[in-house]
Amino acid sequence: MSRAIFVYEPSLSGYTLSEGHPFKPVRLELTRSLLYDAELLTAEQEVLPQALDEGLLYSIHDSRYIEAVKAVSQGKRLAQAYTFGLGTADNPIFPAMHEAVSSVCAATVTAVELVASGQAQRAVNLAGGLHHALAAKASGFCIYNDLAVGIEHAVKRHGLRVAYLDLDAHHGDGVQWLFYERPEVMTISLHESGRYLFPGTGHTFELGKGAGRGTSVNVPLEPFTEDDSFLECFEAVVPAALAAFKPDLLVLQAGADMHRYDPLADLAISTGAMWQSYQRVSELADQYCQGRLVATGGGGYDPYRTVPRAWALLWAALSRQPAPELVPEAWRSRWQPISPDQLPTHFFDDVSAWPPIARRAEIASYNRAVAARVLQTLTPIWQSS
Ligand SMILES: [Zn+2]
């Protein structure tokens, strides 16, 4: 079964944190309409999320935290909301937030279930990817960790070994800490170094603990890392980690904030390199997981110019279609009136037109040394386990 499924319902755009917040759910509609206009997605490939088994939510998150989210969600005032990370500038309280974030979790679990049960080979939930949420704390625009909930479903219900790959510009801290001592889940994160960017973690010495030692893999990259260096580090570390771990299922968090236009992070990746990395993820899923691959969205704060193209390319790679070249005119004219930036005419950025990055070679050589150190540290652990 090589079917690819796009998990979607309109209410997934209900994850609106607050007016003016950088996390803009309109990205979903922009992407989905681009997929239709570019003839990459058909109605037969779309599936509605199944209802969420709340027990799964409680297996990842602290019950006091879930009760707090439910309470503030209904408009109750809660003295300890702030200690749960709720009601901050990053994670404002909004009406029915429990229901909204539960439906994001439901969609990710549905994607995992479709793939784990063999009904599909690939499944995507672009509303998902809330990788910063912790067991008892909202963090970084994330309330519940849909990825961890989905991974737990794959482990508990299907007995699968899961490799989680996080390509968001920010470290995938929530997923890493939630599975830090678990040998059946490997987390791999390539991100802008925590020395410069939220959440400040994702260092090479975070390796996992106890039975999970060797199953946390971190590749912190320098600000202004460009395509070649990013792809070189990916190639140096990701295939080796998967070869050592031998997963049954690959879960990809495809945050689009690694792109050069992203206003919240400082990496300088183009849509061309993003496409190449998605292609490689698809190949690696074929090589190690019999093709089984679940992908979510994630960060991405350039919602008009960048995110729709990046995620359309993600879908094309996962559903084994060639990369489209031209952004359809119909799509550009529909969305240009609400976009603050000129919408691009091509899926792939013209990198040669971008101003050169100073210290390019120095950044690449620093990243190369980091990737080598990651392998030097982890290889003996992998070999002894
Ligand atoms: Zn991010």
H-only helix segments in the chain:
26-37, 54-60, 63-73, 97-116, 146-158, 173-178, 227-245, 271-289, 307-318, 329-335, 360-384
Handedness of CA 174, 175, 178, 182 (dihedral sign): negative
- Residue 260 is encoded by which pair of tokens? 């050069």
Distance from C-alpha of 280 to C-alpha of 147, rounded to nearest angstrom: 21
Distance from C-alpha of 33 to C-alpha of 308, rounded to nearest angstrom: 9
| Residue 134, strand partner residues | 137
Torsion of CA 204, 210, 211, 217, to 10 degrees: -10
For residue 328, count other CB atoms closer than 10 A to its CB.
16
Widest pairwise Cα distance in the chain: 58
H-only helix segments in 159-306:
173-178, 227-245, 271-289
Kindly list the distances between the CA atom of residue 24 and the CA atoms of 143, 253, 284, 292, 312, in Å, as whole numbers in the listed order.
15, 17, 31, 29, 17
Q: Which active-site residues does the annotation give?
A: 132
CA of residue 144 to ligand 1 center, whole Å: 15
CA of residue 80 to ligand 1 center, whole Å: 27
Contact 60, 152 (CB under 8 A): yes
Contact 46, 9 (CB under 8 A): no
Closest CA to 4 of 321, 297, 323: 321
Per-residue pLDDT of the chain (385 residues; tens, 9 = 90+): 569 999 999 888 766 667 677 777 889 999 999 999 999 999 999 999 999 999 999 999 999 999 999 999 999 998 889 899 998 988 888 888 999 999 999 999 999 999 999 999 999 999 999 999 999 999 988 999 999 999 999 999 999 999 999 999 999 999 999 999 999 999 999 999 999 999 999 999 999 999 999 999 999 999 999 999 999 999 999 999 999 999 999 999 999 999 999 999 999 999 999 999 999 999 999 999 999 999 999 999 999 999 999 999 999 999 999 999 999 999 999 999 999 999 999 999 999 999 999 999 999 999 999 999 999 999 999 999 8
User: Which CATH superfamily, name and number, covers 4-384?
Assistant: Histone deacetylase domain (3.40.800.20)
CA of residue 305 to ligand 1 center, whole Å: 17
Contact 203, 232 (CB under 8 A): no
Contact 51, 106 (CB under 8 A): yes
Question: Residues 6 or more apart from 185 whose CB is under 8 A from it?
Answer: 151, 155, 161, 162, 163, 164, 179, 212, 215
CA of residue 300 to ligand 1 center, whole Å: 7
DSSP, res 139: B
Query: For the chain, what are the domain ranges?
Result: 4-384
Contact 100, 15 (CB under 8 A): yes
CA of residue 74 to ligand 1 center, whole Å: 28
Closest CA to 226 of 283, 268, 189, 193: 268
CA of residue 299 to ligand 1 center, whole Å: 4
pLDDT of residue 273: 98
Kindly list the distances between the CA atom of residue 301 and the CA atoms of 115, 197, 256, 265, in Å, as whole numbers in the listed order.
29, 15, 8, 9
pTM, two decimals, is 0.97
CA of residue 97 to ligand 1 center, whole Å: 20
CA of residue 238 to ligand 1 center, whole Å: 19
